Structure 1
Amino acid sequence: MAKRIVILMLLAFTSLSLSGCLVAESTYLKKAEEADTLGREAATLQEMHQKLSAENGALKAQLAKVREEAAGLAKEKEKLGADNKELEQVLRAKTDTLSQSVADLRQKVTDLETENTRLKAEIAETRKAREEKVREVSKTYEDLLDRMKGEIAQGQVTISELKGKLTVNMVDAILFDSGKAEVKQGGMEVLAKVVDILKGVQDKMIRIEGHTDNVQIVGNLTKRFPTNWELSAARAINVARYLQGQGIDPTVLVAVANGEYRPVASNDTEEGRAKNRRIEIVLVPRDAPDRP
């Protein structure tokens, strides 16, 4: 009985020993598995840490760059602000200058408009006065044509009108005897036909021009008229004196000697020379030059 009990006790102990061994082995395996899992998890975490560290470094670098750019933008903004302020001052100054220029130009335009209005009125007045003078010259021309139609028909007188200048051309034969400078009776009668008309002419100078042919003066006549200059001058002066004696204002009379130097025809023929020996009574505006 006692032996049986001992055996039973040995079996129980053995059983307990085997059971303990089994429990210890199971715990080891479990711990080993946990350690392996933790190792893998640690490796994963280590890899994540490395990635996060690299990403953190990149973000820090990016942040530094952004801050640098922000600082640059701030400086640029500050510079733009200063430039804008300066530009505003320049624009304000230019605006003031332009405003003054516009005001000056408006005043000039106003002055020019006033001046143009005055000039238009002056032009209209001048044109009207000129038209009146033209009508006056035309009437004088028509009156002379009527008064001297006989002499004109005989070719002794020609009358022309050009640009406000009226010319009465008289051949010397109807005014002077050959080689003489005094106006003969028949010449006085011819001149008398123009006196009343010339008296009615206003704002005109009456220019008496003496002309000769190119035949030189010879013989005793040279004592009085050394050249054709003197003969043409004496004839022009005597006609002017006659007109003065008939009541024409001497201040409007001008005597001019042209001699042989302003022919109207060829001196190669008697007919041409006869045309060149002439007295011209020319009506010209008072402000016209002495020589046409």
Structure 2
Amino acid sequence: MRNVILGLVVVALFSGCVSSSKHRAEVDKKNEEIQKEKEALSALSKEKSQLEEKLISVTKDRGQLKSSLDEMKQAMEEMRQRQAEQRKRLREFEDLTARFKKLTDAGALSVKIVDGKMVVSLGSDVLFPSGSAKLSAAGLEAVKEVTTQLQAITGKTYQVEGHTDNLPIATAAFPSNWELASARALNVTRAMIDAGMPATRVSAASFADTHPVQSNDSAEGKAANRRIAIVVVPDLSTMPGYEELNKVGAQQATAQVKENQ
């Protein structure tokens, strides 16, 4: 029964939102992003092989210093970590895409990689009335469905970003696009928390019209730019060099405390 109701909501919300050609373009773009991730992984494998060959060569040369060997081994270890992280990111992106296939097919949202980060993007026109930051009934249901899927992914945190087109707004409630985008992001964040997302796993941010995904020269471009982007926050602790960076940060903090005493 829940699936039937959800299906009716999705059909009522999003029927006619996207033409078959536009959906095909979204699918093709998503496949391109997956292919890019695979190509990056392949490049890392090639680089790893080159390092292995160099390590063998260095080992045979008795004139090389031990420090050179240690540096090479460290580089190899970092490469292995980078490969493992790349594979993990690819699996996570494919999982995220599969979780939202139904809503993506309905044109309700898109899943993509932007600046190296996984993003679930929902059009503001679907979520809010024009010039308003209050979620519509349909928008609230969409946010609940998205929250259900995101909450089920363990160990991940999210940032809700508000974006607008370049048309300025100047009202008592929203003196500029910054306030409108901020209010929308905060309301989506609250709705996600109300739907069960722990408050420790979600935050909000406003970008106004500073990060368009399409040109604002057309109505279609403006509509694409009016959006809520839910970004999967990268876990930097899994990245090579994190421990060293953390040590540097701790040393700087200690030095700052001493300086202030």
TM-score by shorter chain over 0.5: yes
Residues in 1 aligned to 2:148 and 2:72: alpha-carbon distance in whole angstroms: 42
Matched, 1:141 2:97: yes
Residue type matched to 1:259 in 2? A
Map of 2:125 onto structure 1 = 173
| Alignment partner of 2:135 out of 171, 174, 183 | 183
Matched, 1:251 2:200: yes
Q: Name which one, 1 or 2, has greater alpha-carbon Rg.
A: 1
Residue type matched to 1:176 in 2? F
Distance 1:138 1:163, change over 3 A: farther
Residues in 2 aligned to 1:268 and 1:118: alpha-carbon distance in whole angstroms: 50
| Alignment partner of 2:88 out of 120, 124, 132 | 132
**1:247 aligned counterpart, secondary structure:** coil
Instruction: Compare relative contact order (CA 8 Å, sep 6+) and give the higher one, 1 or 2.
Output: 2
Judge conservation of contact 1:212–1:260 (CA < 8 Å) in 2: yes
Judge conservation of contact 2:214–2:224 (CA < 8 Å) in 1: yes
Distance 1:286 1:250, change over 3 A: farther
Residues in 1 aligned to 2:118 and 2:225: alpha-carbon distance in whole angstroms: 18
Judge conservation of contact 2:124–2:227 (CA < 8 Å) in 1: yes
CA shift at 1:239, angstroms? 0.8
Residue-pair matches, total? 177
**1:134 aligned counterpart, secondary structure:** helix
**1:242 aligned counterpart, secondary structure:** helix
Residues in 2 aligned to 1:278 and 1:140: alpha-carbon distance in whole angstroms: 19
Residues in 2 aligned to 1:126 and 1:200: alpha-carbon distance in whole angstroms: 26
Distance 1:194 1:140, change over 3 A: same
Judge conservation of contact 1:244–1:250 (CA < 8 Å) in 2: yes
Map of 2:255 onto structure 1 = none
Using the TM superposition, name which of 112-121 and 251-260 deviates more: 112-121
Residues in 1 aligned to 2:68 and 2:215: alpha-carbon distance in whole angstroms: 55
What does 1:55-204 align with in structure 2 at a 5 Å threshold?
Answer: 109-114=65-70, 116-117=72-73, 119-150=75-106, 152=107, 156-161=108-113, 164-202=116-154, 204=156
Map of 2:226 onto structure 1 = 277
Instruction: Say what the alpha-carbon RMSD is for the aligned residues.
Output: 3.0
Identical-residue share of aligned pairs (%): 32
TM-score where L is the length of structure 1: 0.52
Q: Runs of 4 or more off by more than 6 Å in structure 1?
A: none
CA shift at 1:126, angstroms? 4.1
Residue type matched to 2:89 in 1? K
**2:65 aligned counterpart, secondary structure:** helix
CA shift at 1:176, angstroms? 0.9
Tell me the alpha carbon deviations over residues 256-286 of structure 1, each in whole angstroms, 9 at most, x when there is no partner.
Answer: 2111232233334333322222111122413
Residue type matched to 1:130 in 2? Q
Judge conservation of contact 2:164–2:181 (CA < 8 Å) in 1: yes
Judge conservation of contact 2:121–2:229 (CA < 8 Å) in 1: yes
Residue type matched to 1:255 in 2? A
Judge conservation of contact 2:162–2:229 (CA < 8 Å) in 1: yes
| Alignment partner of 1:214 out of 166, 169, 175 | 166
